[in-house]
Amino acid sequence: MSLQFDTLSLHAGQLPDAEFGARAQPLYLTTSFVFQDTDQAASLFNMERAGHVYSRISNPTNAVLEERIAALEGGVGAIAVASGQAALHLVISTLMGAGGHIVASRALYGGSHNLLEYTLPRFGVQTSFIDPRDLNAWQAAIQPETRLLFGESLGNPGLDVLNIPAVSEIAHAAGIPLLVDATFPTPYLQRPFDLGADLIFHSATKFLGGHGVAIGGLVVDSGKFDWVSSGKFPQLAEPYSGFHNMVFAEESTVAAFLLRARREGLRDFGACMSPFNAFQILQGLETLPLRMARHVENTRAIVAHLAGLRGAEGAVESVIHPDLAEHPDHELAKQLLPKGSSAVFSFHLRGGRPAGRRFIEALRVFSHLANVGDAKSLVIHPASTTHFRMSDEALKAAGIHPGTIRLSIGLEDPKDLIDDLNRGLAAAAKA
């Protein structure tokens, strides 16, 4: 029996409840777990036996979610955390301390950029940002203290397609792992481990959950990176005084990273996922393949519609999506994301900020809010919201125009979505 993606989306990690036979995954909403006896308690604490002690470290509902995403991504395991931001922090704090250095794509989600650019330097971790399409820049930015290369499968806001095979080769030649934020494609559209990535994180808040009701993050380990022979990761390859001098890479050849991330990262930083959120995200994961197929189908229809409106007279100036031949990564996307790229994309309106505001206000089906990856279609005008403090020149440097509109295409009937966008475009044209 070798289970396929759709089956794993429904079943991976979850056997029917042994006590009552519940078919749905039970929600273990408990902080802690009763020990069988004092010997078992001691063995659990010393990692001689496996099981749950306290829900900050692990929880049965979370464990199902962790196994499921690991199965879908083709990894060895995962850790569920409070948010996508917590996931990124857990990876970095497990792999380096003060003095560490990261090479990161400059096409990042704003929250990730803030963490790397402004917050982590205060703790002694520096980041060099590079153009993700420039492979020489990845190579050139690596320093003796570099411990991680990091990019998004699909960069923000231009949907730069990360050349995972090429960047992972550069990383591995330097004895460094490649971390990929795989939130936008989800494993349905791309499995970064198959292409050479070593670690993945997700904002599970987005397409994995899909319903927009739960914040969560997931860190997944491929189990491929050799922490010992790299020679750069004493955290994993040498005794750790914070856990009885455990050498994580000796305890587990392939899951050393996850051991330390759980035993130190969750224990000390404590950014665990609530079991309630894990339960909700699991409900979403069950339908991931069906939803992603529809997200992509709807997006293709809308991208084609908007692209067809481009021209000297219309309100649409340009559309940024790898489906379009003029996108710089059109060919790479066909190779690395053959089932489709993303249901989140941007287009530029003529008429600047006023046109953007008029467009948003005329919409009736799209929801105006700061999120992506919901079952419902979403829209935001960065120049009047997330980036409203920035001048037009500063916006341009960030790849955003005054008239840029970001869409997250949902599961509604595409005709209704197109009608709604047309309503907005008509309003924008009068601005």
Partner 1 sequence: MQITVKGQMVYVYTGGKPFDRQLPAVMFLHGAQLDHSCWNLQSRWFGHHGFGVLAVDLPGHGRSAGAPLGSIEELAQWVDALLSSVALEQAALVGHSMGSLIAMEAALQFPSRISRLALLGSTLPMPVSAALLDAAWHNEAKAVAMVNNFSHSSSAQIGGNTVPGLWMMGMNQRLMERQKSGVFGCDMNACNAYARPLTDLSAIRQPTLILAGAQDRMTPPKASRALASAIATARLEVLAGAGHALMAEQPDQVLNHLRDFLKQ
Q: Which residues bind partner 1 (CB under 8 A)?
A: 1-3, 11-15, 43, 46-52, 57-60, 62-64, 66-68, 70-71, 74-80, 222-224, 226, 228, 244, 246, 250-255, 258, 262
Nearest to partner 1 of 250, 413 (CB atom): 250
Shortest Å distance, C-beta 253 to partner 1: 4
Nearest to partner 1 of 74, 165 (CB atom): 74
Nearest to partner 1 of 150, 225 (CB atom): 225
Shortest Å distance, C-beta 97 to partner 1: 24
**Are 269 and 263 within 8 A, CB to CB?**
no
Partners of 71 in beta bridges: none
Shortest Å distance, C-beta 206 to partner 1: 21
Nearest to partner 1 of 84, 351 (CB atom): 84
Nearest to partner 1 of 45, 123 (CB atom): 45
**Are 78 and 258 within 8 A, CB to CB?**
yes
Shortest Å distance, C-beta 46 to partner 1: 6
Q: What is the DSSP track for 294-317?
A: HHHHHHHHHHHHHHHT-SSSSSEE
**Are 114 and 236 within 8 A, CB to CB?**
no
Amino acid at position 82, single letter: A
Nearest to partner 1 of 279, 347 (CB atom): 279
Shortest Å distance, C-beta 267 to partner 1: 13
Shortest Å distance, C-beta 66 to partner 1: 4
Partners of 316 in beta bridges: 349
**Are 363 and 420 within 8 A, CB to CB?**
yes
Residues with Cβ within 8 Å of 253's Cβ and at least 6 positions away in sequence, in order, are: none
Residues with Cβ within 8 Å of 228's Cβ and at least 6 positions away in sequence, in order, are: 236, 237, 249
Quote the CA–CA distance of 79 and 75 in Å, as a whole number. 12
- In angstroms, how far apart are the furthest CA atoms of the chain? 77
